Amino acid sequence: MTSASEGARSSGAQESRHAALDTLMRAAQAGDRQAYHALLQEVALRMRRLIASRAPWLGQADVEDIVQDVLLSLHMARATWDPSRPFMPWIAAIARNRLTDHARRYKRRQSFDQAASDLAEAFSTTSGHCHAEGVVNLMSVRHAMSDLSPGERRAFELVRMREMSLAEAAATEDSTVGAIKVAVHRASRKLKKAINRDGEETR
Amino acid sequence: MKTDALIDSLAREAGPVRPLASPLRRLGGWLAIALGFALAMVWAIGPRPDLAERLLEARFLLEQGAALVTAITAALAALALTMPDAARFWRWLPVIPGAAWLGTLGLGCLRDWAQMGPAGLRITPDPECFVYIALIGSLPLLVLVLMLRKGAPLRPSWTLALAALAAAAIGNFALRLFHTQDAALMVLVWQVGAVALIAAIAGLCGRQVLRWPGVPA
């Protein structure tokens, strides 16, 4: 068989799969719960595949989070689908919207991770710069962050990670400059100790 | 929650839904309410004494026509943008009538200047225009926002800015039926300026007013 006819066959198969989705969605709008169940499963499957190929670094929980978000959005918007139009472009627009939103949040989280990793490097007294050590240090910071008191953690986040001034952090936290300064200092000391301790342990 | 469990519960609670009517049909409903309210306000405030005369003037009709078409296209674009698969060009729909509106007023400025010299281009404070436009536009905007929330406002800033443009342009259309201010530059600055300001403020509030899909980020 020639590749052209193979291509034609696969595009034909895809068209019929898309038409099947149109039929399911039409039935779902009419109140057919089974059709709706099948449709949601199919969308979940496709979304999982899409996310896995676009963002292979995401963990299982994150992927499921996005899939569920898309399903909920589909559910809430299901009256906006015009049965005379194809289903795929409609769900693709919704999925794109939800993915962009997640990417924005992911980026924010990533910049937080970057700040934590910079910190780990800055605090580490060990001389090694290999990747493995960086990872260990990053993990240590994250681990050590959970040992801080809530006040220390907030103060540290505001001043060191979001780069607020002491006065701004004090205003945000409804506290005094002195108290914030002490909290940041204590947090830094604890983190530094934790990183050095973990560094010793892994050596 | 597991995804399968979510699918089960969504499918269980899903009853039949009526697909939203087409943007064009919903526009008809909105226009009836918006124009009805605007004309009622004109009647309540009292139409300008020279209205019959103005209605025979091509320039007045052209400016009013452009304002009305801008309102209609902006409302249609806002409604279309709440359908997820709407094409991107919808948001640019009011550009041509909007440009025509600005163009007729711009030409009006030139004509005023040719006829009256610098006096034709004098700007004096006329802040009540803003108040009237906001007042008359308020109900049409409220109705349109309620209609938009039934859809899926994937582009909330654009959608709300277009909706406010539509409502404020209706407000301006009505204003000129009772407010005796025809100097083109005055209309351009105080009235079209108010319409643009209202649309810009609405654009900034889009995400808060038309949050979608309604769950906090």
ipTM score for this prediction: 0.83
Nearest alpha-carbon partner for B165 in B124, B127, B193: B193
Q: Specify the pLDDT at position A199.
A: 47
Q: Let me know if residue B190 belongs to a domain.
A: yes
Average pLDDT over residues B112-138: 91
Q: Give the pLDDT band (50/70/90) at residue B70.
A: very high
- What's the residue count for chain B? 217
Distances (CA, A) of B39 to A103, B31, B137, B176: 47, 12, 12, 11
The tokens for B65 are 């026509």
The 10s digit of each residue's pLDDT in B11-41 is: 998 889 999 999 999 999 999 999 999 999 9
pLDDT in the model for residue B54: 94
- In a domain, residue B217? The reply is no
> Considering only CA atoms, which of B3, B134, B160 is closest in space to residue B81?
B160
Q: Quick check: B217 pLDDT over 80?
A: no
Nearest chain A CA: its distance from B67 CA (Å): 29
Say yes or no: B152 contacts chain A, CB-CB below 8 A: yes
Cα(A119)–Cα(A188) distance, rounded to whole angstroms?
A: 10
The per-residue DSSP string of B96-109 comes to HHHHHHHHHHHHHH
More reliable by pLDDT, B149 or A170: B149
Does the residue B121 lie in any domain? Answer: yes
On whether residue B122 sits in a domain, the answer given is yes
Q: Between chains, do B85 and A89 touch, taking CB under 8 Å as contact?
A: yes
Average pLDDT (B202-217) is 79
Cβ within 8 Å, pair B7-A81? no
**Residue spans of chain A under pLDDT 70:** 1-10, 109, 111-143, 161-163, 194-203
The whole-number average pLDDT for the span B174-203 is 94
Contacts of B85 in chain A (CB under 8 A): 82, 85, 89-90, 92-93
- Ranges of H-type helices in chain A: 3-29, 33-54, 60-77, 87-123, 131-145, 150-156, 166-173, 177-202
Band (pLDDT 50/70/90 cuts) for residue B154 is very high
For residues B17 and B147, the answer to whether their CB atoms sit within 8 Å is: no
Q: Are B143 and B167 in contact (CB under 8 A)?
A: no
The answer to whether B91 touches B158, Cβ cutoff 8 Å, is yes
Which residue is it, tokens 């060990």? Answer: A126
A66: nearest CA in chain B?
Answer: B3
Distance (Å) from the alpha carbon of A110 to chain B's nearest alpha carbon: 16
Q: Where in chain A is the domain with CATH 1.10.1740.10?
A: 3-107
Residues carrying CATH 1.10.10.10, chain A? 124-202
For residue B153, count CB atoms less than 10 angstroms from its CB and return exposed for 0-12, middle for 13-18, buried for 19 or more.
Answer: buried
Q: Which of A41-45, A125-129, B6-10, B63-67 has the lowest mean pLDDT?
A: A125-129
Domain span at B168: 21-209
Contact A80 B215 (CB under 8 A): no
CB B37 within 8 A of CB B171: no
Q: Which residue has the tokens 């449709």?
A: A39
pLDDT tens figures, A70-90: 999 999 999 999 999 999 999
Q: Are the C-beta atoms of B70 and B97 separated by less than 8 Å?
A: yes
Set of chain A residues whose Cβ sits within 8 Å of the Cβ of B2: 64
CATH number, domain A3-107: 1.10.1740.10
- Structural domains of chain B, count: 1
Interchain contact, A79 vs B215, CB within 8 Å: no
pLDDT at B215 over 80: no
Q: Shortest CA distance to A79 belongs to which of B208, B195, B64, B150?
A: B150
Give the pLDDT confidence score for residue A126 in this predicted structure: 47
Question: Is the pLDDT reported for residue B216 higher than 50?
Answer: no
User: A38 CB contacts (<8 Å, ≥6 apart)?
Assistant: A24
d(C-alpha A109, C-alpha A44), whole Å: 25
Do B203 and B161 form a contact (C-beta atoms < 8 A)?
yes
Of B183 and B213, the structure prediction assigns the larger pLDDT to B183
Q: What is the pLDDT of residue A5?
A: 59
Stated as kind and residue range, the H or E segment containing B116 is helix B95-116
Residue B82 pLDDT level (bands cut at 50, 70, 90): very high
Q: Which residue of B has its CA nearest to A105?
A: B217
Does B216 lie at the interface with A, CB-CB under 8 angstroms? no
Q: What is the DSSP letter of B190?
A: I
Structure pTM? 0.73
Neighbours of B208 (CB within 10 A): 9
CB contact under 8 A, A40 and B11: yes
Q: How far is CA B155 from the centre of its chain?
A: 17
Name residues whose C-beta falls within 8 Å of residue B193's C-beta, 6 or more positions apart in sequence.
none
Q: Indicate the average pLDDT of chain B.
A: 93
pLDDT at position A112: 65
Please give the average per-residue pLDDT across B154-182, as a whole number.
95
Give which of A196, A58, A47 is closest to A128, Cα–Cα.
A196
> How many Å is the Cα radius of gyration of chain B?
20
B13: in domain: no
The CATH number assigned to the domain with range A124-202 reads 1.10.10.10
**Quick one: CA dihedral B139, B142, B144, B146, positive or negative?**
negative
Extract the tokens encoding B94: 């009011």
